[in-house]
Structure 1
Amino acid sequence: MSRSIFYMALLISSEAAGQCDFVLKGTVTDGRGNPLPAAVQIRALRLGAEAEDGRFLFRNLCQGKAELEITLLGFAKQKKTIVIPSEEIKIILIESERQLSEVEVIAHSPQEVSRQSMLAGKRLEELAGKTIGETVSEISGVSSVQSGPGIFKPVIHGLFGQRIAVLNQGVRLESQSWGIDHAPELDAFSASSVAVIKDASSVKYGSDVLGGVILVNSNPLPDSAGLGGSLAMIGQSNGRAGIFSGMWEGGVKNKPGFGWRINSTAKHAGDYNAPRYSLTNTGARELNFSGRAGYHSQKGCVEILLTRFQTKLGILRGASISNYDDLATAMERSVPQYTKSFSYQISPPRQEAEHHLAKISGHFNAKFGVLRGQYSFQNDNRREYDMRIGGLSETPALHLTLDTHLFEGEWEKQIKSLFLSSGIAYMNQANRNVSGTMRIPFIPDYAQNSWGIHSVGKLKLNHYQLDAGARFDFRRYEVQGFDFKNDYYQSALSFHGAGASAGARRTFRRQSISLHVHSAWRPPHVAELYSLGTHQSASAIEYGLLLDKISNEITPLPKDFRLERSYKTAASYSLLRDLFETEITLHANYIFNYIYAKPYGITQNVRGVYPYFRYAQ
């Protein structure tokens, strides 16, 4: 897909830039010359690095002044102003008896990831305008599955959808992710870093995370008075798209510790193009907003976050097939049926989605450790439109709302080189079909209640890091819906299981090797059990695991049903040099009792010809 991009960035708090290809290297040690794994930040440029072996590196810096901020638990925070270009710098940290302010580093970096597993700073700016699914595929071991010009789902070590987790600002994204055509509903421009956890540490985020975890985070809030911001405008030739995104942030005068930030993004795109014709009805609209505010002190912090993501995506008009003859003709055509000239109009078939997130979080620094608490509420509203007769094309064929309440608590303690963490989480979720679609719902209404507990430990011994974790989860579904005869049914299902992980890492001067093993389980999703009929935006007919193959009546859970169970081993080698970095990973993931959509051929109904699938194990 060809495209050209114009990108303009304004960093109000930074100096005017000239040449932007300079490299800054340095070392961080204590008073005795021992290397320290400190966090090094250039806040004005929204850049950060971890000096794992006492060395850090920034690339693609502009000429001028920059202020470094160096932090490490147990040492006094240090700020150092340098002039770029600069020789290699040396930073010596002084041990401090007061440790409370440094705990903020843990608050904003809850999970250590290797450089090869994170995108931030200049690299993230180069990917501006892409979706999260496209962006994260730049990380080693991650790819994406595409079902439309703007629909990308992340794939980690071959798994996606319900088998990976996406965390937006510390909150696990809960949406209708069961559909292959349902991309993560979050604004990529609000992120200052995108990281992927593929190792044993992912057990913390849920026993059902068989593939890995994607962490989307923004920078820490300002903690002093002043204003700053950024502006991005992107033009894309394919689709004649325009994207505008802005960020504004600041502190409160005479109120140190208070900070706020707002983000907004708008996107307008028309039909995308193949080499010789237009892909009719593949335009996109997007309008997003987020606001965040908080107070930080030595005793702890409290923050609130509000986000809104709204998108409208067209589905290729030529993908709708009305009968077998049209299907045969479509396979022979060089240009899809219904192809027209370029347009910004988005008509049925299309999908519309809105996702709202509200979060309040905080932590308290005590002598016995750090206590964290978080409550979040998510509302997901999805509407899918089809080509329908009787004037119903503008009536949603599928209209779902999903409300999620999530309560989380965690305790953390650093005991010299040993880090301990234990937590508990409870989730209440309600999925509801909005009436008025004039169709039997594709998936039924359901309520989900689940809770989990986890414990993680990490030990650093010179150049070695050992980690282990375990988690137990319980999930209960209460389902009510209508079968193909429009008869009412209801059922209740409960599942429980445990997962565990362990790993080891050895670091050298600029290299590291690691080995991790991970065991996880996954309960089936309601869509895998009860789906019924046409999955419109995927252009397929699907039947759930609990629907009888002959009568399509709802049946009880089979006695021989088994939960999915994954056993994963991953070994990695990473190398960092001034001009390049590389990572090689070997992994094996054995999944038993795998649930999948098994193809059964092609069938026809009153709406057209579709491939036909049944979920099987």
Structure 2
Amino acid sequence: MKVYISILLIGLTIVAHAQRSVSGTITNSQNEPLFGVDVFIEELHKGTSTNENGYYELNNLPNNSIKLTVAFIGFETQIKTLNLQQNETVLNFILQEAVFKMDEIIVSTAFNKLQSENVMKVERATAQQLKNKGAATLIEGLSSIAGVSQVSTGIGIGKPVIRGLRGNRVLVYTQGIRLENQQFGDEHGLGIDESSIESVEVIKGPASLLYGSDALGGVLYFNPTKFAEANSFNLNINQSYYANTQGSNTSFGVKQTNDSWKFLVNGARNQHSDYKTGDNERVTNTRFNETIFNTAIGHSNSFISSTLRFNFNNTKVGIPEEIGIQNTHKTPLYPYQDLTNKMVSFNNIFFLPTSKITSTFGYTFNNRKEFELHHEEGEVHAEEEVHPEEELVASLNLDLKTFSYDVKWNLPKSEKVETIIGIQGLNQKNKNFGEEILIPNATTNDFGAFLTSSFDWKQHSLQGGIRFDTRAISSEKHIVLHEDEAHVFEAIDNSFENFSASLGYKTTLFKKITSRFNFASGFKAPNLAELTSNGIHHGSNRFEIGNSALKNEKNFQSDIALEYYSKHFEIFANGFYNHINNYIFINPTGEFEDEYAIYKYTQENANLYGGEFGFHLHPHPLDWLHLQSSFDFIIGKQNNGNYLPLIPAHKLTNTLRAEYDINNWLKNGFTLITVESNFKQKNISEFETATNNYNLVNIGTGGKINISKMSFNINLNINNLFNTSYFSHLSRLKTNGIPNIGRNFITSIKFEI
């Protein structure tokens, strides 16, 4: 921590150039000033909003090229690239009314363009949009995005699935660095809470060109909480209640920003009891508790923009096995996991005369503990077995320390061409301190170098690049005595190399259809569990054996996205075909050890294909009414004809949404009803069970209420309105005959000062 602070202070003492500023007025097409328009410079984490006269001003800007974004609900988003060569620049905007959602800057792709200009199709949702859907957890909210789902164990444990790929095939970025928390395991969550993020971007498809190994299936890119507007102070307090789990979420945030310095701090506490199914039975030990804290400090001048962030997350979550004890206690029973994640990231942008260099350094400490009681034959669990945890030593105790770096140079650009070169890498050490060993002590080193360019002309954009990666994994030998047998973790010293490439083209067909064609290769190096496992994995309730001879997974995906917009109608179609060489999966051998079925990692070529299709109707003159519909499906098969495991069922989602303002006391009001239809999943692997179709109905309403000088946001949601008892195909509890969560009434209120 001291090292990062020292680097920050050194960077901030560099002699600054002359200060730059930009100002102007923003009006509508009738030349009327617009109040509250967001004016933001994404890369500087700096923004403001217009006053009653439509006037805005941003000071202390770099002597360089910047992208200024202007966004306002109900109007088209505009983005201008400015070369600030003068001390003061005046730039006025006239905004045109827009029927559909605001266009937004995409941060997860290379050139930070508006979504409408981007070569890749990227889904984006704000934390507030996910909250409006009444999701109990962040990952549950993400699964409402077409093409995204989750492997879940109750509501406290969920892992993202993008177009049928999960685990280490989906890379998660937060605070600008890779999330490293033993993500190969399905039996613990992400460790990210909505209080620490502003929005999420989803890249569906291989993104190894930008991110290296583990981005074979896609990327979840979490944008951290924004700083306050320039020269302002903000305080917010949020309280949510979840009736099904008798759970609560309490969070707060404080922000302060002036022209040069900015600071924020956020915290949250989540507590949930066991969830209740549609049959009104509580699923024992699905309870969980979560504590979150994050803070950030930033500084910018005409030469450098720096941001230092820290995030802490601790989650205690029960590992469910049955429908047994029926109570509403919130302290997990045995077995349970205690997960702690600490992240520090340090981001700098150096503004050179005609180019810029961006660097992000990160350090992540992840500690994963699992506690369980050992019983003699004939003993049974009892409610009084609730810990204190100090009574037991953790049976599983893994420390994972990761240092990562990411340096990019945006070369001097012409009017039509932008080019970026960069390097990325990490050093990772895994150590065991528990009674049992799941994966051995090991060291991993990654290094990657890439080049990517974008060429824009008229209504066309062409973007491509190439990348080389290398990964080295070395582990220690372990001998674990278990009853009368010894399980040996043989030492490995493996290295993996790969070239990745991508090419994308965006154009407008027939002057009406926005079209994107992308072709990309990706790869995933085998992880420690796949290479070295040799023992009982209690979280999965099986004996797992690794395979040190595993090769890189390599894939090639073609992706076509077509979108048609008119003033009151939008329709889209996204299709993909994904071929994967050496797809790694775990398969039962038919043998048993210690009464546990033995599973072994193996490889087979595989293919996945499918897509997302839908429309958005905004009928005239009913400007307040929206009808949205989407359908997504995925087929995953091995080359031998067998289906891949844990492929989501086909899903149809229909939403009717009304948006309105009522005088001055209710702003941004909404009421919605969503019908989610999940189809029967019978395309299953040989050790899976099929799941039946089911329908879920969710309703919600909310908005910003102004009373006198006080204002607050309120949300009311009922999920699974008819208390349907159902089995999600990606639920890890369905093999035990345990349904998913039943009706859940959720209320949330947020005060801002």
Q: TM-score range by the shorter chain?
A: 0.7 to 0.9
- Of the structure 1 ranges 532-541 and 585-594, higher mean CA displacement relative to structure 2 is found in 532-541
Mapped to 2, the partners of 1:421 and 1:229 lie a distance apart of 38
CA distance 1:468–1:379, shift in 2 (3 Å): same
1:144 aligned partner:
150
Alignment of 1:95-134 (within 5 A): 97-98=84-85, 111-112=112-113, 114=115, 117-120=123-126, 122-127=128-133, 130-134=136-140
1:518 aligned partner:
520
2:395 aligned partner:
397
CA shift, 1:397, in A, is 1.9
Task: Report Cα offsets for 1:496-531 as digits up to 9, x if no partner.
Answer: 111111111124777521111111222111110111
Instruction: Give the residue type in structure 1 aligned to 2:499.
Output: A
Mapped to 2, the partners of 1:132 and 1:592 lie a distance apart of 32
Mapped to 1, the partners of 2:340 and 2:88 lie a distance apart of 38
Task: Report Cα offsets for 1:515-556 as digits up to 9, x if no partner.
Answer: 11111222111110111211112222211114xxxxxxxxxx
Mapped to 2, the partners of 1:427 and 1:308 lie a distance apart of 20
CA shift, 1:591, in A, is 0.5
1:584 aligned partner:
573
Instruction: Give the residue type in structure 2 aligned to 1:535.
Output: H
2:220 aligned partner:
214
Q: Is the 8 A contact 2:364 2:401 kept in 1?
A: yes
Mapped to 2, the partners of 1:131 and 1:25 lie a distance apart of 39
CA distance 1:532–1:199, shift in 2 (3 Å): closer
1:226 aligned partner:
232
Mapped to 2, the partners of 1:298 and 1:478 lie a distance apart of 45
Q: Does 1:537 align with 2:539?
A: yes
Mapped to 2, the partners of 1:388 and 1:594 lie a distance apart of 36
1:593 aligned partner:
582
CA distance 1:574–1:317, shift in 2 (3 Å): same
Q: Which runs of 5+ in 1 are unaligned?
A: 1-23, 29-39, 49-63, 319-335, 547-556
Q: Is the 8 A contact 1:375 1:408 kept in 2?
A: yes
Instruction: Give the residue type in structure 1 aligned to 2:498.
Output: G
Q: Does 1:563 align with 2:567?
A: no
Q: Is the 8 A contact 2:402 2:429 kept in 1?
A: yes
Q: TM-score, normalised to structure 1's length?
A: 0.76
Q: Is the 8 A contact 1:271 1:282 kept in 2?
A: yes
Query: Equivalent pairs: percent with the same residue?
Result: 23
Alignment of 1:377-396 (within 5 A): 377-389=363-375, 394-396=392-394
Alignment of 1:258-273 (within 5 A): 258-273=261-276
CA shift, 1:96, in A, is 5.4
Partner SS for 2:210: helix
CA distance 1:108–1:67, shift in 2 (3 Å): farther
Count of aligned pairs: 522
Partner SS for 2:374: coil
Mapped to 2, the partners of 1:503 and 1:123 lie a distance apart of 29
Mapped to 1, the partners of 2:520 and 2:78 lie a distance apart of 38
CA distance 1:200–1:526, shift in 2 (3 Å): closer
1:300 aligned partner:
304
Mapped to 1, the partners of 2:572 and 2:55 lie a distance apart of 28
Mapped to 2, the partners of 1:189 and 1:578 lie a distance apart of 35
Instruction: Give the residue type in structure 2 aligned to 1:397.
Output: S
Alignment of 1:289-438 (within 5 A): 289-318=293-322, 336=323, 338-389=324-375, 394-413=392-411, 414-435=413-434, 437=435
Mapped to 1, the partners of 2:54 and 2:236 lie a distance apart of 18
Task: Report Cα offsets for 1:473-508 as digits up to 9, x if no partner.
Answer: 111111013145266743311111111111111247
Partner SS for 1:138: coil
Instruction: Give the residue type in structure 2 aligned to 1:161.
Output: G
CA shift, 1:147, in A, is 2.2
CA shift, 1:109, in A, is 7.9
Task: Report Cα offsets for 1:45-80 as digits up to 9, x if no partner.
Answer: x999xxxxxxxxxxxxxxx96968799996896989
Instruction: Give the residue type in structure 1 aligned to 2:446.
Output: S
1:183 aligned partner:
189
Q: Which runs of 5+ in 2 are unaligned?
A: 1-25, 43-50, 90-104, 117-121, 377-384, 481-485, 604-753
CA shift, 1:42, in A, is 4.3
Mapped to 1, the partners of 2:395 and 2:257 lie a distance apart of 47
Q: Is the 8 A contact 2:245 2:276 kept in 1?
A: yes
CA shift, 1:425, in A, is 1.6
Mapped to 2, the partners of 1:92 and 1:412 lie a distance apart of 19
CA shift, 1:583, in A, is 3.4
Q: TM-score, normalised to structure 2's length?
A: 0.63
CA shift, 1:124, in A, is 3.4
Instruction: Give the residue type in structure 2 aligned to 1:433.
Output: N
Q: Is the 8 A contact 2:70 2:78 kept in 1?
A: no
1:192 aligned partner:
198
Alignment of 1:418-567 (within 5 A): 418-435=417-434, 437=435, 439=436, 441-483=437-479, 485=486, 489-507=490-508, 511-546=513-548, 557=549, 562-567=551-556
- Of the structure 1 ranges 234-243 and 381-390, higher mean CA displacement relative to structure 2 is found in 381-390
Instruction: Give the residue type in structure 1 aligned to 2:535.
Output: G
Alignment of 1:34-45 (within 5 A): 42-43=37-38
CA distance 1:401–1:240, shift in 2 (3 Å): same
